[in-house]
Amino acid sequence: MMTNEKLRNIAIIAHVDHGKTTLVDAMLKQSHVFRSNEQVAERVMDSGDIERERGITILSKNTAIMYNDIKINIVDTPGHADFGGEVERVLNMVDGVVLLVDAFEGPMPQTKYVLRKALEQGLKPIVVINKIDKPNQRVDDVYDEVLELFMELDADDDQLDFPVIYATARDGVAKYKMEDDNADLKPLMETIVKEIPAPKGDPEAPLQMMVTTLESDSFVGRVAIGRIIRGTAKTNQNVVLINGDQTVKAKIGKVFVYQGLKRVETGSASMGDIVALTGLGDVSIGYTVADAENPEALPTINIDEPTLSMTFGVNTSPFAGREGEFVTSRHLRDRLFKEIETNVAMKVEETDSADVFKVSGRGELHLSILIETMRREGYELQVGKPEVVYKTINGQLCEPIENLTVEVPQEFMGAVMEGLGTRKAELVNMTETAGYMRLEFTIPARGLIGFRSELLTSTKGNGIMNHVFHGYAPYKGDIPGRTRGSLVAFEQGETTGYGIFTLQDRGTMFVGPGEAVYEGMIVGENSRENDIDINPCKKKNVSNMRTSSSDEAIRITPPRILSLEQAIEYINSDELVEVTPEHVRLRKSILDRTIRGRNAKNARKG
């Protein structure tokens, strides 16, 4: 066994919004990756449009910097629990983690989830307490909370002896102690080099590499990314791809290593380095790339199972095909099966209908990001209500349970606890920080569907929630669904101001004047629990008689515009969300109101 002292591999892990990507930005700038006159975007690692718009990391990404003569490979990971599959994969590529914790918020649910995975793999942690410039920072308390978390997760003695760095990632400042006067990230860089173990292995042994990430390139096909466990990868080298009992011969096209934000071609790369290989054909995540003469498989990656599923179907509304480029079941099937090649925490299953697929993922955000990506690519589809994935364990029906953390001002605590009580949540812990109450619950995953919008309403926008998968537990019983019915259009046409004006007393409208609607489309929420068929396209009859009120202005309440996530949370089991590149519409599964009425009558009789 040899040690490659010129190399360090680290992953940066943290809860969402604690500053991972901002810290990577600062490390890149201070290692002079960019030219002095180069325009650099904020959060340069968040390269996707949706990542930039939402300010979250969705896909883990690789970069590399030089500190003195040592190369540091850095993996930036997502902070959302829904993208935990991304984190689990990439931890196989590194020898240590930089755990970032907010100096005010302290360890949050996702911090705990990712740290558990890292400690289980025996990775060396460095703790960075970030945002120490906050006026309400509580650095000492946060340090104690981090230490408690390590002890709770059964960290070994070596892991418990973690170094702590204090930082303001936005300003590119790191310190060994709070009172130090320092203006760069040198303390963090030196701690990484000193504390994170260098990769160990035999560069002369037969090649072994685990594929942990996959990218698609229109010129060279699939690009397999992973860490070389032993041996050397060379251009045009003959290898075998091992997947379980299957082995396929292949040949490495080109070998790339990371320098800054770029992939740089190299003739060969040795043990410990993170590389990108082209030319391997139908390679997938979890495959071992091994030497052709001595093929030996590496242990496979274990990824937690999906907890939420939805149906994805071909758009069957009267407006189908007007906006999208890809509208057939063949297009939909190809796109979904292409997604699971790279998105290992997602599952796609075929159903009895050739036009409908069951897609399972880690949570609503995980699935809604896929839907949003597909609509931007020109797909039209319709999706059903999210449902949790049940399991039978020891003959008992079990459901996924989440750890939920809610932060609310004290005055709204009662309303939040009342709302969560009906959703079968159980209070585990309660603490007060700076006027906010932090409430920790365990709750069935199905109890979280639709809760985010309810929380924002009941706390007047002041509530913050985070949740992470806890495990499976026996079924908790029925949870009441939506308490209000839908306003459903009963004819196709264009909405009018007069039509909406006459209906707005019935409930909240989702459409404004001049919008195209069709029979069976949901145009509003009823103020009562039953569905009502309405006509928002009604025109005012013209007569030659004048009434005293005929010239009064019509006053219309602005419609409630639902985002994609809100629409998915809102629908009932007999409703669908129609998603096109330009519109998100709600509709009934059965558009014809006569058939709907007949089915409802039969159900009552039955």
Higher-pLDDT residue of 264 and 381 is: 381
18 annotated as a binding-site residue: yes
d(CA 57, CA 78): 5
Higher-pLDDT residue of 6 and 217 is: 6
Higher-pLDDT residue of 48 and 293 is: 293
- Sequence-ordered list of residues with C-beta below 8 angstroms from that of 567, at least 6 positions apart, any chain: 577, 584, 586
pLDDT at site 569: 87
Three-state secondary-structure class, residue 3? strand
80 annotated as a binding-site residue: no
Report whether pLDDT(391) > 80: yes
pLDDT at site 44: 46
358 annotated as a binding-site residue: no
Instruction: State the amino acid at position 368 in one-letter form.
Output: S
CB 101 within 8 A of CB 18: yes
- Sequence-ordered list of residues with C-beta below 8 angstroms from that of 56, at least 6 positions apart, any chain: 16, 17, 46, 78, 79, 80
Report whether pLDDT(153) > 70: yes
- Tens digit of pLDDT for each residue in 534-575? 999 988 776 655 554 554 567 888 999 998 888 998 898 899
Q: Give the model's confidence band at 203: pLDDT under 50 very low, under 70 low, under 90 confident, else very high.
A: confident
CB 129 within 8 A of CB 99: no
Report whether pLDDT(40) > 80: no
Torsion angle of the four alpha carbons 439, 443, 445, 449, in this order, in degrees rounded to the nearest 10: -60
3-state SS, 534-571, equals ECCCCCCCCCCCCCCCCCCCCCCCCCCCCCHHHHHHHC
- Tens digit of pLDDT for each residue in 439-461? 899 999 888 888 887 888 888 88
Helix (H) or strand (E) holding 270: strand 268-270
Helix (H) or strand (E) holding 447: none
CB 283 within 8 A of CB 222: yes
Q: β-pairing, 396-409 with 436-444?
A: antiparallel
% of the chain at pLDDT higher than 90: 24
130 annotated as a binding-site residue: yes
17 annotated as a binding-site residue: yes
- Tens digit of pLDDT for each residue in 461-470? 888 887 878 8
Helix (H) or strand (E) holding 54: helix 49-54
What are the beta bridge partners of residue 124?
Answer: 96
pLDDT at site 542: 64
Report whether pLDDT(342) > 80: no
- Tens digit of pLDDT for each residue in 397-419? 999 998 888 888 888 888 889 88
Q: Residues 522-530: what's their mean pLDDT?
A: 91
What crossing angle do the helices spanning 413-421 and 451-458 adopt, rounded to 10°?
150
CB 259 within 8 A of CB 242: no
Report which DSSP code applies to 123: P
- Tens digit of pLDDT for each residue in 114-142? 788 888 888 899 999 998 888 888 889 89
- The pTM assigned to this predicted structure is 0.78
Three-state secondary-structure class, residue 168? strand
Report whether pLDDT(314) > 80: yes
Tokens read off for 53: 């718009």
444: burial class by Cβ within 10 Å (0-12, 13-18, 19+)? buried
CB 362 within 8 A of CB 370: no
Helical H segments across 390-539, by residue range: 413-421, 451-458, 497-503
131 annotated as a binding-site residue: yes
- Best CA proximity match to 315, nearest among 327, 330, 333, 331: 327
603: burial class by Cβ within 10 Å (0-12, 13-18, 19+)? exposed
pLDDT at site 593: 87
Report whether pLDDT(168) > 50: yes
Q: Within a 10 A sphere around the Cβ of 530, how many other Cβ atoms?
A: 9
CB 58 within 8 A of CB 23: no
CB 276 within 8 A of CB 263: yes
Counting runs of H as helices and runs of E as strands, what totals does the chain give?
A: 14, 37
pLDDT at site 590: 92
Angstrom distances, CA of residue 542 to CA of 453, 538, 539: 42, 12, 9
Domains of the chain: 2-200 (3.40.50.300), 202-291 (2.40.30.10), 391-474 (3.30.70.240), 486-541+551-605 (2.40.50.250)
Q: Residues 246-264: what's their mean pLDDT?
A: 85
Tokens read off for 506: 């019935």
Q: Dmax of the chain from CA atoms?
A: 98
19 annotated as a binding-site residue: yes
